[in-house]
Structure 1
Amino acid sequence: MECSSPCSVNNKHIPPGLLEATAKHPCYSFGAHHKYARMHLPVAPKCNINCNYCNRKFDCLHESRPGVTSEILTPQSAEQKFRRVKAQIENLSVVGIAGPGDALANWETTKESIERVKAIDPEIIFCLSTNGLLLPEYYHEIISLGIKHVTVTVNCLNPEIGARIYGHILYKGKRYEGETGAAILIKNQLEGIRLLAENGVLVKVNIVMIKDINDFHIPDIVKKVKELGAFMTNIMPLIPAPGSAFENYQQTSMKELNKMRNQCQLHLHQMHHCRQCRADAIGLLGDDRAIEFAAETAGRIPAGTASGQGKKIYRIAVASKRGDLIDQHFGHASEFLIYDGNGRYFEMVETRRVDKYCSGAELCETEEDKKDAIADALKDCNAVLILRIGYQARQRLLKKGIVSIEHYGTVEEGLSFAVQKIEGKEAV
């Protein structure tokens, strides 16, 4: 079950003030994720490890996953952007640095960015994400900065498993591959978690669940990080990123993921509401507004009708809460905007309401009839254009002949992008 406030078997000695702050952190508290907004500052482009599931496209508006951003900020521009966001989002509670590379591999810019924001708003909650390779080196500086929330990604405890997940690491001027590199990384991750926890930092451990590589090993990871003092773990599904070594791997299904989370919940509190956010995410976890602050105005659909242009007309269902941005996950959409168009011109023909695909962790596994009904409601569409969609939902739509297209951007850009994808698939 979810906790409406921060909860963990490891929180007995956490000061009340820190628990109160954590209750306003949308990643650490389920009750906060629909009340409080966060802002990721993409000031850390360099990375010191090569994960086989990662492809860090910095200038990528079409994807919503960790490691991508539409811009890289300097500490000065990060300060300016924070001022803009703070002025427009009153419920902003957290500023985090989650890449697009590693926060500690870019420590000087990470540190300066935090100091600049802190000078503007000393009450803001700071957090950072790291692969943990440099934690033993920088943990004391993290503590000195007053950072109380750190996320460390730990995918294995065994170097043999690690050799299948990581291509190489860069550590103290040398490149290490295979089990040698994985062993160094694992040692530093575990030592860093212990050092942070012993000094009052709440550590969230992210684990990427990769079928047939580390899935069987995940309960052991959870037990180990609990022993080291971790506050909670967040088991996330593999997103097969195009261009990565794992691009052809099957995405972990929500059924498999929730089964693992429920199993590990017996040992340590689990995060169930993760959205695997971009490095430049802004707003609520379920309502990203980063595009509003990346450009002065959102694009508009060109005037004119879709018919009579001499090209095939496609019907595309768009998951958009605002109407101008693709800003919803498939599982959270209660209605879709239906467009007809040929790749250049589009017209919206209707707003089609559907029951929500997923209302919670348990319901996602049991409401098969509801899922089929939603797919049937969109059966006249060639494609569904969404911010994110799970593997099982993608396959269910595909059986109906509906292509699922993930896109991060405006509706205008997404519709043109969708037609390119559809025609590309038809040409194969």
Structure 2
Amino acid sequence: MKNKNLRAVDYNPCEIYVPINREMKSNIHPCFGDNAHKFARMHIPVAPKCNISCNYCSRKYDCANESRPGVTSEILSPEEALEKFKVVKSNMKSLTVVGIAGPGDALANFQEVRKSLTLIREESPETIFCLSTNGLMLPLYANELIKLGVSHVTVTINAVDKKIGAKIYKEVNYLGHKYVGEEGAEILLDNQLKGLSYLCSSGVVCKVNIVMLKGINDKHIKEVVKRVKECGAYMTNIMQMIPVPGSRFEHLPLVSNIELNEMRKECEVDIKQMYHCRQCRADAIGTLSQDRSIDFRNAGCGICESKHSVKAEKHDLEKCISKGKKYKFAISSKSGINIDQHFGHADEFYIYSYDSGTVKFLEKRDVNKYCTGIEDCDEHDDKISRIIKSIKDCDAVLVLRIGFDPKEKLETEGIRAIEMYDPIDKGILRAVQEFEEVDCQLSSVIGK
């Protein structure tokens, strides 16, 4: 097969400029530092194309309702990315980082990436640049990334053994040729490790993402961690696979949070671990605990401006809602953008108000997780009592799913539990509509 020996392109380290403060910049990067709650990041979705096919991925990325890597509600040109950055920067003083995380692979769209970063650097010299990549094209573009001032790079490396890699990657498209099986996996793995080593030796702070796949690479992860440490990686982020409809691994059993954290603990003896990853969308904006990308949807295109108090969108739901009512909601969300978490898994609730047509974020409240395992889920009344106490001023809790017992206990205390999967602002409007319909029904009954 032609180009069979093309594994990695030789580097040209001449005229490389490496700022001396890359490690210091990690302190204000929400993913790399320990101050994630203080600083905000903005992902610019300028990279739609991808050059590998992972068995846990689907290339359906245009989705407003999913919160996972590889999805976005818009693709921006470099010029649009600059305009959106200006809007976000003017409204979000804690913004320190601009990142590129897809929805495809950053280096499979390098022309757009280069232009976007160049335009934003001219506008804001102090902004930190980072990007995520599968690493296939790192040997080709490592020098250019450094010259562009990219100080932080995340490489997803799920295996360092081509036999295991062949189970994870369906196809690798390298320099115009498609490779499958162990041959494709070997090309990818060689380039990932060579590119990672070069970036680390050049002063770029590198994180390695590892998707933990039950029965595929879960017994191999320690080896991956040790190998990337040898390459100079700063930290690893061992992640749970998010099942994606249409992907080959759609029905693969998931590792539990307990298994995930046990693996992180075991690997922590070798390298720093990331525990606070939110597996962000390609258009994420805000802090890791409060994604505000919905606030800035279409910003920079002359359509909308962001405000801390966000006006609910003018869709059909509003026609059914009176403007005089006031409500307060507790939201179970793992992303901070969608109602996408089971009640029993929540260790925090986002508190929102609805007042005369305006949806407003108020605060975030920590709680003790109701379900910490199959044996614990419904046995501890003190847990649900503490949760109820923490959200007793709310009219309803909006969740992806909730068990019968906690739902009954909440409703006994006058807190409705409403199951849905929607963006937070749209979900709140739906909940308000439910309240209004119930009120209307009661009024008609009383009238009779």
TM-score bin, normalised by smaller chain? 0.7 to 0.9
* Cα 1:224/1:293, change in 2 over 3 Å: same
Report whether the alignment pairs 1:180 with 2:183: yes
Find the partner of 1:192 among 167, 185, 195.
195
Match in the other structure for 1:18: 22
1:331 Cα shift?
2.5
In 1, the alpha carbon distance for the partners of 2:130 and 2:48 equals 17
AA paired with 2:106?
A
Match in the other structure for 1:126: 129
1:161 Cα shift?
1.1
AA paired with 1:373?
I
Report whether the alignment pairs 1:232 with 2:235: yes
1:206 Cα shift?
0.2
Report matched runs for 1:15-414 at 5 Å.
Answer: 17-31=21-35, 33-295=36-298, 296=304, 298-299=312-313, 301-304=317-320, 318-319=331-332, 326=338, 331-334=346-349, 356-358=367-369, 369=380, 373=384, 384-385=398-399, 397=403, 405-408=420-423, 410-412=425-427
In 2, the alpha carbon distance for the partners of 1:167 and 1:371 equals 48
In 2, the alpha carbon distance for the partners of 1:414 and 1:187 equals 50
* Cα 1:53/1:405, change in 2 over 3 Å: farther
* Cα 1:162/1:383, change in 2 over 3 Å: farther
* Cα 1:178/1:39, change in 2 over 3 Å: same
In 1, the alpha carbon distance for the partners of 2:225 and 2:348 equals 32
1:50 Cα shift?
0.5
In 1, the alpha carbon distance for the partners of 2:268 and 2:382 equals 27
1:21 Cα shift?
1.0
Residue by residue over 1:190-237, the C-alpha shift from the partner in whole angstroms, topping out at 9 and shown as x without a partner, is 111111111111110000011111111001000000001001000010
AA paired with 1:218?
I
- Residues 287, 327 of structure 1: 8 Å contact kept: no
- Residues 58, 71 of structure 1: 8 Å contact kept: no
1:154 Cα shift?
0.2
- Residues 397, 418 of structure 2: 8 Å contact kept: yes
1:249 Cα shift?
2.0
* Cα 1:120/1:265, change in 2 over 3 Å: same
> TM-score w.r.t. structure 2 length?
0.73
1:157 Cα shift?
1.0
- Residues 50, 169 of structure 1: 8 Å contact kept: yes
In 2, the alpha carbon distance for the partners of 1:137 and 1:398 equals 55
Q: Secondary structure at the match of 1:57?
A: coil
In 2, the alpha carbon distance for the partners of 1:250 and 1:385 equals 23
AA paired with 1:30?
D
Q: How many residues align?
A: 370
In 1, the alpha carbon distance for the partners of 2:143 and 2:203 equals 12
* Cα 1:404/1:129, change in 2 over 3 Å: farther
In 2, the alpha carbon distance for the partners of 1:50 and 1:235 equals 20
Identity %: 45
AA paired with 1:112?
K
> TM-score w.r.t. structure 1 length?
0.76
- Residues 357, 371 of structure 1: 8 Å contact kept: no
In 2, the alpha carbon distance for the partners of 1:123 and 1:59 equals 31
1:58 Cα shift?
2.7
**Who wins on radius of gyration, i.e. which is larger?**
2
* Cα 1:374/1:78, change in 2 over 3 Å: farther
Residue by residue over 1:347-368, the C-alpha shift from the partner in whole angstroms, topping out at 9 and shown as x without a partner, is x9xx9x9862449xxx968986
Worse-matched range after superposition: 139-148 or 36-45: 139-148
Any unmatched runs of 5+ in structure 1? 1-13, 307-315, 340-347, 387-393, 420-428
- Residues 104, 130 of structure 1: 8 Å contact kept: yes
In 2, the alpha carbon distance for the partners of 1:78 and 1:29 equals 25
AA paired with 2:260?
L
- Residues 202, 230 of structure 1: 8 Å contact kept: yes
- Residues 330, 349 of structure 2: 8 Å contact kept: no
* Cα 1:320/1:234, change in 2 over 3 Å: closer
Q: CA RMSD in A?
A: 3.8
* Cα 1:327/1:240, change in 2 over 3 Å: closer
- Residues 207, 237 of structure 2: 8 Å contact kept: yes
1:302 Cα shift?
2.5
AA paired with 1:167?
K
Any unmatched runs of 5+ in structure 2? 1-17, 299-303, 305-310, 323-328, 408-416, 435-448
1:410 Cα shift?
2.9
1:25 Cα shift?
0.1
In 2, the alpha carbon distance for the partners of 1:222 and 1:135 equals 19
Residue by residue over 1:92-130, the C-alpha shift from the partner in whole angstroms, topping out at 9 and shown as x without a partner, is 000000000000000000010000000000100000000
In 1, the alpha carbon distance for the partners of 2:46 and 2:421 equals 25
* Cα 1:415/1:237, change in 2 over 3 Å: farther
In 2, the alpha carbon distance for the partners of 1:92 and 1:335 equals 21
Q: Secondary structure at the match of 1:109?
A: helix
- Residues 320, 337 of structure 1: 8 Å contact kept: no
In 2, the alpha carbon distance for the partners of 1:294 and 1:370 equals 41
